[in-house]
Structures are given as C-alpha cells and as structure tokens.
Amino acid sequence: MTNSQTTNTSTLGGPLLEPTPKSSDPARLAGDIVDRLTYRLGKDATVATQDDWLTAVILVVRDRVVTKWMESTRDTYRREGKRVYYLSLEFLIGRLMRDAMTNLGLVDEMQEALGELGVDLDLIRQLEPDAALGNGGLGRLAACFMESMASVDIPAYGYGIRYQNGMFRQEISDGWQVELPETWLEHGNPWEFERRESAYDIGFGGSIEIGEDDACTWTPSERFIAEAFDTPIVGWQAKRVNTLRLWRAEPVDPILLGKFNAGDHIGALHDSNKAEALSRVLYPADETEAGQELRLRQEYFFSSASLQDILRRHMSQFGRITSLPDKAAIQLNDTHPAVSVAELMRLLIDDYNVDFDLAWDMTKRTFAYTNHTLLPEALESWPIPLFERLLPRHMQLIYKINARVLMEARATGTFEDEQISAMSLIDENGSRRVRMGNLAFVGAHSINGVSGLHTDLMKQTVFRDLHQLYPLRINNKTNGVTPRRWLMQINPDLYDLAREVAGDGIMSDLDGLLALNDVADDAGVQERFTAIKHQNKVALSNLVQDRMGIAIDPSMMFDIQIKRIHEYKRQLLNIVETVALYHQIRSHPERAWAPRVKVFAGKAAASYHNAKLIIKLAGDVAKIINADPATRDVLKVAFLPNYNVSLAEVMVPAADLSEQISTAGMEASGTGNMKFGLNGALTIGTLDGANVEMREHLGAENIVIFGMTADEVAAKRAGGYNPEEVIAGSPELAQALSAIENGIFSPQDPFRYRDLIGGIRMSDWFMLAADFDSYSAAQRDVDRIWHDKPRWAGMAIRNTARMGYFSSDRTIRQYAREIWNVLP
C-alpha cells in the first residue's frame, strides 16, 4: 500500500524534463493536458478514463501553482520576515481543483480547453476525492485559514498528519449509520510532493540520563521517521502560495531482516506496522474514550516533526536560536498540539543548550493557542503513567514548568488553594492526569476564543483562575469562512449578481457586499436573486432524487440542518418540532402552511450511541411523513448520507432557512451559520456562538432568534430545572414526545426511542423542552415571512449583503496584527 503510493506520487511528480508553462491560453492548456496524459500517465487521449483526464488537468494546474509557489518562497527568504506556523491535527480541505483554478483565474480558459478536448470539466471535477482530514468545524476552519493566509499574503505553513484514512465515509443502511474507511489516496494524490529529504526522527519511551551540569540525555526506546508531504495552497489571484506540510510515519527499518531470515515474517514487519498505525486514521473528535495511547502518540509525532522542521528552517536562515520568537509565530489549533510546549522546551534546552529561564521566555513568546470548546468531555488530559512512559523527558519538564507557574501564582498572595489546584498542569482529583489546556495556556502569550460569547465564557469557566493570574492573555478572534470557496465557487450566479452591484473587489474585501443592501428591496434584484436560489434548489433536489429516490418540489422552503450530529447541536429539537408540525398539519389541514422540506445531514462519532439513534429517528420520521398523503404537499423530510465539504457545497447555496439551534453557551462559534448567511439563507437560531455577532451585523430584523440565552441556561441548570413540568405545560411538545416514545415512528421496534426521550424527561441537559415552545413559535414566524415573498427576498439579500465581517480574511488579519505581529 505504502509503496505503491510512493511510486505513484513520484511518477506523477517527476521534476525533470518538465517544460515550465505559464500561459493560460486555452490552446496551450489543451496541449499541456494531452502532454501530461501522454508522458506522465502513459495514456492516449482515445483510451483515457475520466480519472486520467482529472489527473492530467490537476497536473497542469499544479505546474502553474508551482511557479508562484517558488516565487513566494524566495520572497519570504528575501524579506527575512516572520513566518506563521499553524499546527492542527485536522485539515478538512475538501476538493482542491476548482479552488486552485479560481484563485489562479483559470476557470474559463480551462473550460474552453477541455471543451476542445471533448471533456466535461464539471463531470471530472466530481471525481476528485474529497480530502477529509478532519471531523468538522475545527478542521474546516484550518482549511479556510490556510486559504486566507495565502490570500492576504502572510508567509505561512500548515502542519498536520497525512492520514491514510481520514474521516470515515458514512452509509445509511436500514436507517442506521455505518462507518466505512475513506480511501482518498487510492488513485494517488497529484497535488502533493513527497519530500524525502525532509524527514525527522521521532522518539518514544526509554529513559533519561542526567549528566554533569544537569544536562539531560533522553534515549528513546522506540523511534520512527516523520516524512513530509507538501501541498501548495493558492491564495486569491495567486498573490501568494503557501505550504500545507503533512507528516507520514515511517519505520526506521522497513523490514527487520534478521527476524525475516529467521523465519519470523510477521515479526519482521512489526516496526513497519507500528509506524503505519501512527498516520493511519483520524480520531473522531467527539469520542470520549479515544484509543488513548495512539492518539497521544499522534499528537506528539506531528508536534515534534513540525517543531524540528521549524527550528531547522530558522537556523538555516538566521543561524541564531534566540531570535526564534521574532521570526516564528506558532498557532496551536486547540490542545491537540499542546505537547509542543514541552517539546519546544526540550529542543531548546537539550539540543540547543538554552537555559530553562530563557527557553521558557522564548516558548511563551512563540506560541499562541486557540480554544475551541468548553465541553468538559472534550478538554484533553492524559493519565500521568501513560504520559510518563511515552514521554519521560516531557513529563519532567512539565513538572518543572508547573512548579514555576504555581510559584508565580502563590507569590501574588491572592489565590485560595482551590484556585491554585485549578491552575495546576496536573489534575490531582482522582487518578492524576496532565491537563493539556492548562499546558497550552501557560506556554502561550495569547489564548483566543472563536466568538465573543465563547471568549467571555472561557474567562468565566475553564480558564477562570489562569485568566485572573494572566489577565492580558485571553482575547477573541471570531471565526470566518473563505468567500472564494463559500460564495464565488459554490454559488457563481449569486457571485455574479453581487459583483454587478458591488464591483470586482468583493473577493479581496468582502465588506464591499454592503452595496447589495441598497438594492435589497428592488423588485428586479429580488427576482434575480430568487431565480438563482431556485436554480440552486433544483440542483439539490436532483441530487436528493438521484441519491435517495425522494422527490422534492424546489418551490418548497428548503430548511436545512447540516453539521456533526451531537446532542448539544440539537438535531433532536428540530426532529421533535417536525413531528409536532406534522401533527398540527394533520389536525388543521385548512391552515395556510408554508410548504417545507427539512433536510438533515451529518456524521455521528462511531461510539456516540444517542447521536446514531438521532440519525435513525430522522429516517424513521421521514419514512412516515413522506408517505402520508395528508401532508405530502406541505412537509417532507430527508436525511442525506455522508456529509462532507463537497456535499455542503451543494446544500449551502440551496438553503432558504439555516438551522443554528444549539443550546446557548455550547457552540463555540459555528461556521456553517456563516456559509448559509453569505449565500442568502435566513437563520433560525439561538443566541449562541457567532449567531450573537451575526445578529449584530444583520440587524435583529433579518434573523430569527429564539430560546434562552447562555446566562438563562446556566441559571436554569443551577436552579433545579424540571423538564416534566415544562412538557406538561406544552401540549404540542407532549404529544410529539409521546408519539416518538410510543413507537409511532418505529412500529417494528416500539421501544427504540424510549431511553432517548426518557433522557429528556429525566434531566434534559440540552434544554430541548425548555426551548421548544419558543422554537416552535419562531418557526411559525418563519412561515409568515415565507408567505410574504418580497419581505423574504429582501431579508435574504440583506443577509448576503451584511455578512462581509465573517470572511476569514478579516479573522486572519486580526490574528496577524493582534497575535502574530506579522504585517500582511
């Protein structure tokens, strides 16, 4: 497997004999494509498969990228400026071909070139594998940031793991989620360059020897090689091309020949298999019991490789280790790379002979950390015995760092013992564990949240005491999305309309969209906007028809909830409301119901029982409702399998209504909410995450807000919330819950949902019942707006117009100015 990929890549990437084409002339492009087909793939145009054409086109695009890439690299060296390093265990990049072609300005020319060759660009585009090296929002943010850093001209490197199997492929079998491996590298990966020369030793286990003058020598008992694979990331108008460097683990000895020759053919491959496991799979984010040891090994593997690479680059250009904080800003995307704090200390002290005090100062000046969640089960910590066994030297350094931090805290004389123990890097409650969030906090000069609300809550909850000790460190950087992918590429007609009104500059400055605001009530613009939306809905209904065999009338309201399936995101609230609506339509068929289709998509972590049950429930409810002739014209439900970036690209432009209904205080930011708003969907949502700021930018009259605030949720939880009482007071909710609980939607297995609904009656941690009436009333408000077509269109256009703030270019400029101290 590994070998065949290696061969593939190097065949595709052969660096010699390559002419350096720069022209975007269609005839030249066509010639180059045939050339790649012939000389790289060894295929004649008459026998080439669609996959061959795709590879040939990508190679032609890639050649044009490479020229710019080298210019960018040379420019960075020449300027002797600071580089940004974005460390993330996840990059949810999706397909790259259209992205690269758009940013190079090659789309029309390529279309024409392929037309001459009789190849359909849209068709081969669909064959490109969707690179899903991430679980959800956190990984997609990393991908948007990579594109934005290149677009605003910041020299940056992304560092992560080249998972052989990324996020699983979801199939729905008899309504249940089934997880299958995603084999995105099956046909090779024409985007990447294998860098055999950039390889580093990564050690685990072993022992430490303390020599004279306290110098430490760590002798690991296990060693692996981290090998680099580079993917170029093109910014808007190809101003800059940055590098995404992903690591693959290799054994030091691919085969233990001694063992092999002695007849132990399996044992001979032991190291090889162990290495392969390191970069094999992406762990599901929401898993509570991950394969603990392998996960920690992955985190250290990619942190160590990346830091060694950063230090090597720094020394080769600047020759002096102490200038590192002036020349490198390292951003930790959540706590997954937090072990980097200890690893940089180790490298500085043990390999570069820097003393502890200076090393600690340099470390803090180099690192910044982004927090992504307040959910207690997602705050990483490692059992001390495990940590000590795998990383003995790092354990020792963490104790030393901890002693220093706690001394600083005690020296202030303002903290109680309880607060000191909350600040400690070691959790002493129960079995002792290393707290990675606290390690990242103390080792960084900046700790940021990803929306205003999340940042405030961070100060009050997880980092309350550390915030009191270091009050200047926490800051906010509200998330964003790249408008090139999430508007221009996925909704070209809306982009054209926006450009006609707002001018050509909108992709470099999304605030320019505000010009649309002045024409939002113009009948001609509304008609055009509505026609574009309709066409996008036709495209989605064709997809639903093809994949699910469900017919959807594109004139219905497309009400869409797509995101990871999680109880806090409350897909269940949406489903229960759907059932209540179904009952209401049946009881009052004479009312003017707004015809809707509720569309769901999302993956559940493989071990998350309730999330998987919610998927099954969506399917069960869909089956009954879609078959009922009494409601058929006004209500439809569909669950689309295998949610990923490519599916989002079809669903987002087709949405009329975006569901952002998490329990307030639990969604750190959300970015799905931003994609929908930008594409002219109205949002129904709670005051959670970035929804709060969306309301500020859109105006309260252009978003439908319901439910409790974060403060109200906290107060209710503290004050003894009784869900049964709430249910008793809401006949519609009571009826919907009873129907689900009593097996109306699962007649073959009537008890299927008893525990799921029982959980709401018993404790209802996610406050579904408490928010139900408010949600249901808000949905009826949405119905009323839907019937007033000009009002709906005006609101939708104002959504697109006022979403400029949520461009990831704005987010990245803020990181650059306020955290990294680099000038775009």
Ligand X SMILES: *Cc1c(COP(=O)(O)O)cnc(C)c1O
Whole-angstrom Cα distance, residue 638 to residue 723?
29
Catalytic residue, candidates 675, 695, 798, 802: 675
What are the strands, taking DSSP E only, across 38-112? 83-87, 91-94
Q: Which of residues 127-166 bind ligand X (CB under 6 A)?
A: 136-137, 140
Site string for ligand X, 301-340 (x = CB under 6 A): ----------------------------------------
Interface residues for ligand X in 44-73 (CB under 6 A)? none
671 belongs to the catalytic site? yes
Cβ-based neighbours of 278, under 8 Å, separated by 6 or more? 224, 249, 294, 297, 298, 301
Strand partners, 600: 561, 639
Separation of alpha carbons 441 and 425, rounded Å:
10
> Which residue in 245, 346, 393, 563 binds ligand X (CB under 6 A)?
563
In the complex, minimum distance from the CB of residue 95 to ligand X, in angstroms, rounded to a whole number: 12
Q: Which of 564, 566, 616, 810 is catalytic?
A: 564
- Please, which residue, 343 or 659, has the CB nearer to ligand X? 659
Q: Which stretch binds ligand X (CB under 6 A): 148-156, 458-466, 664-672, 816-824?
A: 664-672
CB of 304 or CB of 673, closer to ligand X: 673
Annotate 782-814 with DSSP letters as a single string.
HHHHHHSHHHHHHHHHHHHHT-GGGBHHHHHHH
Q: In this chain, which of 306, 584, 671, 808 binds ligand X, going by CB under 6 A?
A: 671
20 within 8 A of 67, measured Cβ to Cβ: yes
* 563 is known as an active-site residue: yes
Tokens of 479: 């998330």
| Min separation Cβ 170 and ligand X, Å | 12
Closest contact distance (angstroms) between CB of 136 and ligand X is 4
Q: In the bound complex, what is the minimum distance in angstroms from residue 516's beta carbon to ligand X?
A: 23
Cβ closer to ligand X: 433 or 675?
675
Among 672, 677, 723, 794, binds ligand X (CB under 6 A): 672
In the Cβ-directed half-sphere of 558, how many Cα atoms lie within 13 Å?
Answer: 27
* Of residues 560 and 637, the one with the C-beta less far from ligand X: 560
Helices 789-801 & 523-548 angle (0-180, nearest 10): 90
CB 207 within 8 A of CB 219: yes
Tokens in use for 542? 């064709």
Tokens for 269, please give them: 């491959």
Please count the residues of this chain forming the interface with ligand X, following the rule CB under 6 A. 12
- State which residue has the least CB distance to ligand X: 672
Stretch that binds ligand X, among 416-424, 517-525, 641-649, 716-724 (CB under 6 A): 641-649
String marking each residue 80-109 x if it binds ligand X according to CB under 6 A: ------------x-----------------
Ramachandran category for residue 319: left, alpha or beta (phi over 0 → left; psi -120 to 50 → alpha): left
Query: What's the rounded Cα separation, in Å, for the pair 697 and 501?
Result: 20
- Min dist CB 523 to ligand X, Å, is 33
Asked if 82 is an active-site residue, the reply is no
Using the minimum distance from each CB to ligand X, give the nearer residue, 92 or 736: 92
Determine, following the binding rule CB under 6 A, whether residue 397 of this chain makes contact with ligand X. no
Of residues 569, 598, 603, 810, which has the active-site annotation?
A: 569
| 259 part of the active site | no
The answer to whether residue 648 forms part of the interface with ligand X (CB under 6 A) is yes
Whichever of 84 and 666 has its CB closer to ligand X, that residue is 666
36 is catalytic: no
Sheet strand arrangement including 367-370: 193-204, 222-234, 241-251, 156-161, 83-87, 328-333, 367-370, 446-449, 474-476
179 vs 522 by CB, closer to ligand X:
179
**Options 55, 644, 800, 807; binder of ligand X; rule CB under 6 A:** 644
Provide the minimum distance between the beta carbon of 92 and ligand X in the complex, in angstroms, as a whole number: 6
Give me the least distance between CB of 205 and ligand X, in Å please: 36
Q: ∠627-629-630 over CA atoms, to 5°?
A: 125
In sequence order, what are the beta bridge partners of 178? 171
- Which one is catalytic: 62, 372, 598, 802? 372
The answer to whether residue 372 is catalytic is yes
Non-local (6+) Cβ contacts of 152 within 8 A are 235, 809, 812, 813, 816, 824
Concatenated DSSP letters of 638-652 = EEESS--HHHHHHHG
The reply on whether position 645 binds ligand X by CB under 6 A is yes
72: nearest Cα among 296, 276, 235: 235
Residues 733/580, Cβ–Cβ less than 8 Å: yes
Catalytically active residues, by annotation: 372, 563-564, 569, 671, 675
Task: Provide the binding-site residues for ligand X, judged by CB under 6 A.
Answer: 92, 136-137, 140, 563, 644-645, 648, 670-672, 675
